[in-house]
Copies of this chain bind each other. A is one copy, B any other.
Amino acid sequence: MGRAEIGVAALRLLNIDPTASMAQLAAAAGVSRATMHRHFATREELVKHLGWLSLRSWRDALDAARIDEAVDSGDTARAREALDGLCRELVRDAAEYGFTLTEHSLESDDDIVSASEIQAKREYAFYVAAQDLGVIRADLPVPWIANAVFGLLVGLRRCLSHGDIAVRDAERLLRETLLGGIGA
């Protein structure tokens, strides 16, 4: 049981119960409180660590979707593909790091916040390009687009945890709703 595995185990429980105590998280990881504190001196440190993992996973999603290449190429079809890929990757990301989406303490951490703002700008750049290429509406503020995606991920996560939809449908629902809305 290394630091990494303990972190993952804690993450799993936090996804279910975001208020779990260190004792509960230690138990979930199959480790004593003492060992837990040896790896993560404070709960804050643990949550922050997971926040960084989440940021990295988000970055990986942007990478996997090849949004930068899509921006550079200036090709509509590639932008469309990238947007599809982004939906796929973000669904995976949200499923894995769901609790970070609504964890208030992360939003009051300057390091995390500034890092996530930097990354958001990268995503913004993609949306701007997608607007220019006619893939997404140009009359919507880019921050709203990003937050709409974010919000839909939150909704998706709720559906999944309530058993309202199947995991395999998640990506399609996000993609179709995001792109085309729910209007008939």
List residues of A whose CB falls within 8 A of some B CB.
18-19, 102, 104-105, 131, 134-138, 140-141, 143-145, 147-156, 158-159, 162, 164-165, 169, 173, 176-184
Shortest CB–CB separation between residue A36 and chain B, in angstroms? 22
**Known contacts A151-B152, A155-B151, A164-B144; A183 and B104 CB within 8 A of each other:** no
CB distance B144 to A183 under 8 Å?
A: no
Max chain B CB contacts within 10 Å: which of A137, A147, A179?
A147
> Could you say which of B104, B137, B154 contacts A182, with CB atoms under 8 Å apart?
B137
> Could you say which of B135, B150, B162, B183 contacts A180, with CB atoms under 8 Å apart?
B183
**Known contacts A144-B165, A147-B164, A151-B156; A137 and B178 CB within 8 A of each other:** no
CB distance B182 to A145 under 8 Å?
A: yes
Q: How far is the CA of A138 from the CA of B137 in the complex (A)?
A: 24
The residues of B that contact A138 with a CB separation of less than 8 Å are: 184
The residues of B that contact A179 with a CB separation of less than 8 Å are: 181-183
CB distance B181 to A177 under 8 Å?
A: yes
Max chain B CB contacts within 10 Å: which of A149, A154, A180, A182?
A182
CB distance B144 to A150 under 8 Å?
A: no
CB distance B104 to A18 under 8 Å?
A: yes
Q: How far is the CA of A173 from the CA of B151 in the complex (A)?
A: 13
Shortest CB–CB separation between residue A13 and chain B, in angstroms? 13
Shortest CB–CB separation between residue A135 and chain B, in angstroms? 6
> Could you say which of B19, B147, B164 contacts A155, with CB atoms under 8 Å apart?
B147
